[in-house]
A and B are shown apart, each in its own frame.
Chain A
Amino acid sequence: MTSIIKFQALSGCFDESPHCYLLEIDDFTILLDCGWDELFSVNLVDSLKQNINKIDAVLISYPDLLHLGALPYAVGKLGLNCPIYGTVPVHKMGQMFMYDWYLSRYDSEEFAIFDLDDVDKVFDRMTVLKYNQTIALKGKGYGITITPVPAGHMIGGTIWKIVKDGEEDIVYAVDYNHKKERHLGCCELEKVTRPSLLITDAYNMLYQQPRRSARDESLVVSILATLRSQGNVLLAVDTAGRVLEISNLLDNIWHNKEAGLFAYNIVLMSKVAHNVNEFAKSSIEWMSDRMVKSVDDARNNPFQFRSVKLCHSFEDLKKIPSPKVVLASMPDLECGFARDLFVMWCGQPNNSVIFTQRTSPGTLARYLVDNLGRVLSLQLDVRSRAPLAGKELDEYLQTKKQKASETMEYEESSEDEDEISGPVGHDIMVMEEPRRQGKKPHFPVFPFHEEKVKVDEYGEVVKHEDFLIVDGVEEAEKDISDAQEEPEEDMEIEEIPTKCMSQSKILKLNCNILYIDFEGRSDGPSIERLVFQVKPRRLIIVRGSQEACEKLSAGCQAENIWMPQKGDHINATIERHIYQLLLKDSILKDLMFKKCRESEVAWVTGQVVYDTGSTDIEKSDVAEAKKNQPHLDLVDYNLIPSHKTAFLNDIKLSDFKQILGKNGIPSEFIGGTLRCCGGNISLQRLETGKVSIEGTLSEDYFKVRDLLYEQYAII
Chain B
Amino acid sequence: MSRRKEAIPAEESDQLTIKPLGAGQEVGRSCILLEFKGKKILLDMGIHPGLTGMDALPYIDTIEASEIDLLLISHFHLDHSGALPWFFAKTSFKGRCFMTHATKAVYRWLLSDYIKVSNISTEQNLYTEADLEASMLKIETLDFHEEKDVGGIRFRAYHAGHVLGAAMFMIEIAGVKILYTGDFSRQEDRHLCAAEIPAVRPDVLITESTYGTQIHEKREDRESRFTGMVHDIVTKGGRCLIPVFALGRAQELLLILDEYWGQHSELHDIPIYYASSLAKKCMSVYQTYVNAMNSRIQKQIAISNPFVFKHVSNLKGIDHFDDVGPCVIMASPGMMQSGLSRELFESWCTDPKNGVIIAGYCVEGTLAKHIQSEPDEIATMSGQRLPLKMRVANISFSAHTDYQQTSEFIRALQPRHVILVHGEANEMSRLKAALIREYETMPEVEITVYNPRNTTSVELTFRGEKAAKVMGSLAVHKPVEGEVLSGVLVKRNFNYHLLAPSDLATYTDIQVSQITQKLAVHYSGSVSTLHFLLLQLAGHVEKMDEVKSSFRVFDVIDLTVDKNMITVEWKGSPVNDMFADAVLVTILRAETLNEPSVKIDDYGAKFEWDKFKDSLVEMLRDMFGEAAVPKSVTKDDFYVTVDDKKAIIDFYNLKVTCEEDLTLQKILQTAVSRLYNSLAPISAIQM
Contacts and interface: CB of A to CB of B under 8 A. Distances in A.
Given A284-B288, A648-B504, A608 B108 contact: no
Interface in B341-361: none
B310 A442 contact: yes
Interface in A167-197: 167, 193-194
B219 to A, nearest CB: 8
B521 A647 contact: no
B471 A577 contact: yes
Nearest to A476: B303
B263 interface: yes
Contact of B491 (A482, A585, A601): A601
Contacts of B148: 132
Interface stretch (A375-383, A398-406, A630-638): A630-638
A609 B484 CA distance: 10
A262 interface: no
B189 to A, nearest CB: 11
A605 B488 CA distance: 9
Interface in B448-506: 465-476, 478-492, 496, 498, 501, 504, 506
Given A599-B491, A648-B513, A578 B469 contact: yes
A649 B513 contact: yes
B147 A133 contact: yes
Interface string A261-279: 0000000000000010011
Most buried by B among A278, A442, A579: A579
A608 B7 contact: no
B310 to A, nearest CB: 6
Given A296-B105, A444-B259, A715-B488, A285 B289 contact: yes
Given A130-B146, A604-B487, A282 B287 contact: yes
A602 B288 contact: no
A689 interface: yes
Nearest to B566: A697
B514 to A, nearest CB: 5
A641 B484 CA distance: 9
Given A580-B467, A648-B511, A285 B7 contact: no
Interface stretch (B19-27, B80-88, B371-379, B567-575): B567-575
A582 B466 contact: yes
A699 interface: no
Given A282-B287, A608-B482, A694 B518 contact: yes
B371 to A, nearest CB: 30
B12 interface: yes
A296 B475 contact: no
B306 interface: yes
B489 A603 contact: yes
Contacts of B7: 589
Contacts of B339: none
B298 to A, nearest CB: 8
Contact of B479 (A132, A599, A608, A715): A608
B678 interface: no
Interface in B108-156: 108-109, 136, 141, 143-148, 156
B489 A689 contact: no
Interface string A431-443: 0010000000111
A367 interface: no
Interface stretch (B234-242, B329-337, B532-540, B665-673): B665-673
B37 to A, nearest CB: 13
Contacts of B572: 647, 693, 705, 709
B303 A130 contact: no
A540 to B, nearest CB: 18
B478 to A, nearest CB: 6
Contact of B486 (A451, A636, A643): A643
Given A296-B136, A444-B262, A641 B485 contact: no
Contact of B484 (A88, A585, A605, A646): A605
A712 B513 contact: yes
B512 interface: yes
Interface string B231-249: 0000000000000000000
Given A580-B469, A639-B484, A644 B146 contact: no
24 contacts: A133-B145, A278-B305, A281-B305, A282-B291, A282-B305, A292-B141, A296-B104, A296-B136, A297-B108, A447-B299, A581-B470, A582-B467, A582-B468, A608-B484, A648-B511, A651-B513, A689-B513, A690-B514, A691-B513, A692-B516, A694-B518, A694-B519, A695-B518, A714-B573
Interface of B: 7-8, 12, 101, 104-105, 108-109, 136, 141, 143-148, 156, 220, 259, 262-263, 265, 281, 284-285, 287-291, 295-296, 299-306, 310, 465-476, 478-492, 496, 498, 501, 504, 506-522, 572-575, 584, 666, 669-670, 673, 686-687
5 tightest CB-CB pairs across the interface, nearest first?
A650-B511, A577-B475, A645-B573, A599-B492, A605-B486
Given A88-B291, A282-B301, A705-B572, 16 more contacts: A275-B302, A282-B288, A284-B101, A292-B141, A441-B262, A446-B300, A580-B468, A580-B469, A604-B489, A608-B485, A638-B673, A642-B686, A642-B687, A691-B513, A691-B514, A709-B572
